A and B are shown apart, each in its own frame.
Chain A
């Protein structure tokens, strides 16, 4: 057998220098190699499992939840401002009910914003920039509430019919809405993006670490296997004995641990990939779309509420609509046309994605009925917007306000709520995928054939080392 002869010839140059010309010396050296290789395997597997754990922690329990919490914060903040505008537009008289409804929703939003801000503060504990941003949001929120209350109180005192409120009220509202639009919302949105960036970085780093980790676990495992086999063969040949039981057992332990480590690592990589690509990425895209949609809707309201700035609000509306779904450059009119064209093509075949923006991105990666529902309702929201602008442009301001604040299909508030619900349920679907993947990953890391990985690995390494020593000791004893 070639391994025998090679086994004898091979050690000459190196072993000579180490003074290992004798048989017990060689046995000792081979055993040491096996033990050292096992130590290497242990270190490498430990690092690889640690990397997998870190990846899950960042994406599943740290930056990932930060993105969700700040998305919630943005939503609550922007909805607060929309409700204030709705109350002011509704005015007194016949629209009292609408105003009451908006007021109670404002209260709910405020509670939700407080909760989300606190959660974001906890999650951003490790990053000074994010922390300072959260603090600034909390300060601004208090200031906003004061201004909003002031505007609502002033408006109540004015006691007027529906339509634009008095100039004093508008002045206070402008201050409030500017604070919201210029400080609070951007900061909340930036926190979401920062969380997204942290997740992306962690994912890229951990993914490449995971694949090199798997290679190294396989290589070092193989090295241990070769060392054990070499030792076994040398003992069989040199001492003319049968198979060494302790070494065979060590080999078996190694194979079991090695194979399950590799399976664990590739399982973790799969779950991480699932959580990131099919869960997190989509949640982030859709949260951003939801945030921008809300602020787009607020621009529609402001367009009617504050005619002095209607150009800015129209252009902002267009800009945001295009960020959500971009077909081609041009005016709002061009946007409506492009949207219809793109939707017709998409409805004919979900593979024909001619548009860009958040929904273009999502449609290319995760098409499906949930996204189609979002797109259909987005289109309805735009149709309402078109009608509102036509009415306002033709001087029918009151009718335009009725279309905006009405509570039935074909009115902007109603259709926008339904659109928003479609986004929420799509995010819910992705959230379930995300949570499931993180849970599976956590569970797999927590258990293995012999209990937790943290306990199993050192035990296995120690076991192999002890078995190697136990296997060679009787042979070495023959030389004493």
Chain B
């Protein structure tokens, strides 16, 4: 026992720089015990987050849409604006990250899982509907809002009144989006799917007459309808609940829990209502002022 202790101390002394070797080893030993003790008892606080968690970070890279007015749109000067961008900024602030320490990364519906997996974004706030299928790939905090899927048609269209009238019509299928699945797969409506890379492309195709309908979340449609003006019409026949989640790398539980707390606060302090009115106050949408039911962090 005694020999071991002497050896250990000898080793500690050997590791010490030359000039300090005359210092009282016993005192140093107490010092280091205190330091290690403090470390040992305090690591508990940090270890829960883990190195990959968004909780406790100084900077964040946040994936947002770049082509969806009202939600996530890249302006000519490179800045991003929209409801999702504001929500992301609020949540980041609650996590302790200043606005100038956020880097927004443009994502599309098809790249959202990929950017989280390969680490090019730490979190994704991009009209990202929580689905059980996606839940097997990423961890979802939130939802921070529940949108409802609706359908946009050309203003002159007279035969489409509800989503069920899409049977036999050409429906735009945006890559990576879940919305077309709700229509053809979950509701079993036999629409003809026409692929497109994004919703901005879908709207262009609707205006050009190459598709008959674009069916997706009312918030997304509202932003596009605002731009397209009287050429298009929204059916105003919502048929689903779309839970907008904040996507995190799979398994980031403490990040997810911290974000859920932030979203609760966003509703309690009135920020959520303010942001909803800022971005969608001009539309006919009924905006829910209540905090959505969270999915829970698994």
Contact = CB atoms under 8 A, between A and B. Distances in A.
Contact of A331 (B30, B188, B257): B188
Interface string B259-298: 0110011001000000000000000000010111111111
B187 A315 contact: yes
A142 interface: no
Interface stretch (B18-26, B61-69, B98-106, B200-208): B18-26
Contacts of B181: 329
Interface residues of B, number: 54
B292 A186 contact: yes
Contacts of B254: 201
Interface stretch (A316-324, A365-373, A460-468, A471-479): A316-324
Contacts of A220: 33
B159 interface: no
Interface string A39-74: 010001001000100000000000000000000000
A175 to B, nearest CB: 12
Interface in A207-249: 208-209, 212-213, 215-216, 219-220, 226, 229-230
Interface residues of A, number: 65
B82 to A, nearest CB: 24
Interface stretch (A9-17, A99-107, A267-275, A443-451): A9-17
A208 B240 contact: no
B51 to A, nearest CB: 15
Query: Chain B contact residues: over half helix, strand or loop, or mixed?
Result: helix
B158 interface: no
B1 A229 contact: yes
Contacts, number: 142
B41 A6 contact: no
B110 interface: no
A442 to B, nearest CB: 22
B15 interface: no
Contact of B44 (A204, A312, A333): A204
A187 interface: yes
Interface string B114-136: 00000000000000000111011
A208 B148 CA distance: 44
Contacts of A36: 30
A331 B189 CA distance: 11
Contacts of A213: 40-41
B186 A212 contact: no
Given A44-B37, A216-B37, A331-B187, A311 B240 contact: yes
B75 interface: no
Nearest to A316: B241
Nearest to A295: B293
A6 B1 CA distance: 12
Nearest to B257: A197
A302 interface: no
A372 to B, nearest CB: 22
Interface string B1-12: 111011000000
Interface string A187-209: 10110011011001100111011
Interface in A384-428: none
Contact of B2 (A230, A312, A330, A332): A230
A357 interface: yes
Given A205-B48, A208-B44, A14 B240 contact: no
Contacts of A311: 163, 187, 239-240
A118 interface: no
A315 B241 contact: yes
A190 B264 contact: yes
A226 B6 contact: no
A190 B293 contact: yes
B140 to A, nearest CB: 11
B186 A14 contact: no
Contacts of B1: 226, 229
A154 interface: no
Given A216-B40, A226-B2, A196 B296 contact: yes
B178 to A, nearest CB: 9
A204 B6 contact: no
Which 3 residue pairs spanning A and B have beta carbons closest together?
A186-B293, A311-B239, A212-B40
Interface of A: 2-3, 6, 10, 13-14, 17-18, 33, 36, 40, 44, 47, 51, 129, 132-133, 136, 182-183, 185-187, 189-190, 193-194, 196-197, 200-201, 204-206, 208-209, 212-213, 215-216, 219-220, 226, 229-230, 288, 311-312, 314-316, 318-319, 322-323, 326, 329-334, 356-357, 361
Given A190-B260, A209-B44, 10 more contacts: A13-B22, A33-B26, A36-B30, A51-B41, A129-B268, A133-B291, A182-B288, A316-B241, A334-B185, A357-B132
24 contacts: A2-B2, A13-B25, A17-B24, A36-B30, A129-B265, A132-B268, A182-B290, A187-B290, A189-B294, A190-B264, A194-B260, A204-B47, A205-B44, A208-B44, A212-B40, A212-B41, A220-B33, A229-B2, A312-B238, A319-B241, A323-B132, A329-B131, A329-B133, A334-B185
